[in-house]
Amino acid sequence: MVVLNKGTIEDIPVDIVETLGNVTTLNGLGLKYDLYKDNPAETVVILDVATNNTGMKALPLFDTTNLAEGNYVFFLKFASVPEYPRLGPFKFRVD
């Protein structure tokens, strides 16, 4: 599990594999993430955060300044494609 220090602003790189080979870059797909506490209720922390990318690597940026210490989970989604896949969960911890 990725561990981020409290008070930092960091990317968590995620490699995306599109098995049909139709997509070669995430550019222009409206890549976003939703962040939740990693608890049974999946408490919402923030939704619809725009995400950078390099090719097929998503680079969601997390500012841990106002996040409580603990476990979190995020999901990647695409706003500009006919179908709206949701990728994840991807987990990390703030210490």
What confidence tens digit (pLDDT) does each residue in 17-26 have? 988 888 888 9
CA atoms within 13 A on the CB side of 69: 3
| Domain presence at residue 79 | no
| Domain presence at residue 11 | yes
Mean per-residue pLDDT for 33-44?
96
Q: What is the pLDDT of residue 62?
A: 98
The parent domain of residue 12 ranges over 2-18+25-72+89-94
| Domain presence at residue 84 | no
pLDDT band at 85; cut points 50, 70, 90: confident
Q: Which two tokens stand for residue 28?
A: 């222009």
Residue 64 one-letter amino acid: T
| Domain presence at residue 80 | no
pTM: 0.92
Q: What is the pLDDT of residue 23?
A: 84
* Number of domains observed in the structure of the chain: 1
Mean per-residue pLDDT for 21-42?
92
Q: Judge contact between 93 and 2, C-beta under 8 A.
A: yes
CA 20, chain centre distance (Å): 22
